[in-house]
Amino acid sequence: MIRRQTFAAGLAVVMLGASLGGCAAPSQLMQSERQWLVGRTYVVTGASSGFGRGVALKLASHGSNVILAARRTETLKEVAAEVRAAGGTPLVVTTDVSRPADIDRLAKAAVERFGRIDVWINNAGVGAIGRFEDVPLRDYDRVIDVNLKGVVYGSHTAMRLFRQQGYGTIVNISSVEGEVPLAYQAIYSASKHAVNGLGAALNQELRLNNQQNVKVVTVMPWAADTPFFQHVANYSGGTPRMILLDDPQTVVDTIVWASIHPTKEVAVGWKAQGAVAAHRLFPDLTEHIAGDVYHGVQIETAPPASPTSGTLHEPMRAGTTVDGGVRERMRREDQQRREQFGS
């Protein structure tokens, strides 16, 4: 009962915040927006699954050039075939974003092939779930290497190129956890707070140096149903879960829209907008509710799961789609729980 009351209170706070937030990005682009995408060159990291794969395919459908970057070469080749079939022009560059040399090679390959880069999307991300002291330090190192250093390396390379070109947009994929920290995801939250701070600082520099044609956008999605939950390192004792998961296509649409209409920060959808606005108005209350709700979902009710480092240190073959099937998996788990406990 307490957990249900906490969830209801949390939903009320989020909805209050959402009423004060902005509107969602449209799922359908206008003719002028679709025309803008034709022939534009995008770098997309983390392109082998989830948001990255979805963004690559949406860009391809509007005739963009898409440089596909991730660790899984064979999967990227599959994505490239889909990009080509959808009307885009792909380039596969196997990349570990935590390695500066890989990022440099990625940028050089893109420029050599297409002559320029219009938009650089730092999307690659990993996570680790569990009580802070239960997660191995080497896993935390890897989360920081990918989620923070990878964004730093990508932004640094793109910024230097865009200053030379005189234009360009960097889109950094953060999270609502870049605003609202979450228990049992301490280093993930820390990495996303850092991404938010990086974007804010870079925008200050661009303003002070009168670089009006270079933009940095920070996109903050709510948790979405992607293979992230299959790939995540997990030491929580239960299967990875989250409440009210968004459809990944909502985030994909917003990322593409934000690349056309760059603004400093974009919270994706009413839940993210509500959580961000609520946290700025009522930080202690919002964090209290977020912690209680996630504790109930992840620690108290999740079915047992063995510890795993997920894809942190080595990529896995599984989980190559845009949608992760997590909502359906959670429905099955919840039904089994109800049948077992009668509630």
Q: CA–CA separation, 243 vs 326, rounded Å?
A: 11
Q: Which residues pair with 120 in a beta bridge?
A: 43, 170
**Single-letter residue type at 148:** L
Integer angstrom CA distances of residue 326 from 163, 230, 238, 247: 41, 8, 14, 10
Give residues with Cβ within 8 angstroms of 43, minimum separation 6: 67, 69, 106, 107, 110, 117, 119, 120, 121, 154, 158
Contact 171, 217 (CB under 8 A): yes
DSSP code for 296:
I
Do 186 and 132 meet the contact criterion of CB atoms below 8 Å apart?
Answer: yes
Burial tier of 215 (Cβ tally within 10 Å: 0-12, 13-18, 19+) = buried
Coil, strand or helix: which one is 164? helix
Q: What is the DSSP letter of 238?
A: B
8 Å CB contact between 213 and 167 = yes
Contact of 62 with 85, CB cutoff 8 Å: no
Active-site residue list: 188
